[in-house]
């Protein structure tokens, strides 16, 4: 058995004295594992870093075997991904999200989204918004997608302001007013009507929103906790967008 294609490195772990088990995300074959012989060599270590894009050739006697990778570099992002906190935590957090999906289950749109986000992790505003959309896409692929397109109560697509914690559906301002304190605010950048860029407040709202549904539908039923990398990414993204007045308040007297 053999196949060849693009892949993004998610992580590696040691295997024997000189080899590693590489975990990659591919467009057609989803998250995939394979052994890389001499993966701990000086030549291969810089290539097998999370976030790098590579060309892999996978071989195995049978399809169900883990098999071996031959790896060639395509786009080496790892050095740049070490420059900011959002990038360092972001690449780890996205890897943790992808591990929620079954191995070898194809999700080509998530591969494409991962490529885009990796190239924008240095910009906290863009990174935060893209990360939220990535979490929403993962929730959707796991069967727990949110419906933010119309009001759950009236069917209206106008003036959507809330998200129901029970149904995961949007609710208009008028219909949701009596229960506003029990619902999530719909972040402005997720509104089809407003389409505003993410700012500190809307991004904080969005992290609470996706975090709640990930915990309820994914982590809690599996007896898991959200990755520490997600919390690190959330804090780094929000810190970079914190209003200037708040930053001045933190300065010592």
Specify if 70 maps to a domain: yes
pLDDT at 194 over 70: no
Q: What percent of the chain has pLDDT over 90?
A: 89
Task: Tell me the residue range of the domain where 52 lies.
Answer: 2-76
**Residue 170 in domain:** no
133/230 same-domain check = yes
Is pLDDT of 19 > 70? Answer: yes
Tokens of 229: 């990398």
Among 76, 93, 128, the domain-final residue is 76
**The predicted structure's pLDDT at residue 64:** 87
Joined tokens for residue 22: 């590489």
pLDDT in tens, 126-140: 999 999 999 999 999
Please check whether residue 131 lies inside any domain of the structure. Answer: yes
Q: What is the mean pLDDT of residues 196-212?
A: 93
Flag whether 51 is in a domain.
yes
- pLDDT at residue 124 tops 90: no
Burial of 204-243, coded b for 16+ CB within 10 Å and e otherwise, reads bbbbebbbebbeeebeeeeeeebbebbebbbebbbebbee
Count of structural domains within the chain: 2
Q: What is the mean pLDDT of residues 69-87?
A: 95
From 50, 76, 102, the end of a domain falls on: 76
Mean pLDDT, the chain, integer: 93
144 and 58 within one domain: no
The residue from 22, 45, 76 where one domain ends is 76
Q: Does pLDDT of 205 surpass 80? A: yes
- pLDDT range class, residue 48, cuts 50, 70, 90: very high
């Amino acid at each position: 058995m053999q196949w060849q294609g693009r892949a993004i490195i998610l992580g590696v772990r040691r295997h024997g004295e000189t080899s590693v088990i590489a975990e990659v995300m591919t467009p057609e074959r989803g998250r995939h594992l394979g052994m890389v012989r001499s993966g701990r060599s000086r030549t291969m270590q810089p290539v097998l870093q999370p976030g790098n894009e590579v060309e892999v050739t996978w071989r195995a006697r049978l399809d169900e075997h883990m098999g071996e990778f031959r790896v060639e570099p395509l786009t080496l992002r790892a050095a740049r991904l070490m420059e900011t906190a959002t990038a360092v935590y972001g690449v780890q957090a996205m890897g943790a999200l992808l591990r929620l999906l079954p191995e070898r289950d194809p999700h080509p749109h998530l591969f494409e989204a991962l490529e885009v986000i990796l190239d924008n992790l240095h910009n906290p505003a863009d990174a935060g918004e893209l990360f939220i959309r990535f979490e929403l896409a993962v929730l959707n692929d796991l069967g727990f997608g949110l419906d933010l397109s119309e009001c759950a109560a009236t069917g209206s697509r106008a003036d959507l302001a809330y998200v129901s914690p029970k149904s995961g559906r949007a609710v208009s301002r008028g219909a949701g007013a009596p229960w506003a304190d029990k619902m999530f605010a719909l972040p402005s950048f997720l509104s089809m009507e407003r389409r505003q860029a993410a700012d500190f407040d809307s991004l904080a709202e969005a992290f609470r929103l996706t975090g709640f549904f990930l915990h309820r539908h994914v982590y809690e039923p599996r007896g898991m906790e959200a990755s520490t990398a997600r919390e690190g990414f959330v804090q780094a993204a929000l810190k970079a967008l914190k209003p200037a007045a708040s930053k001045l308040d933190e300065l010592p007297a």
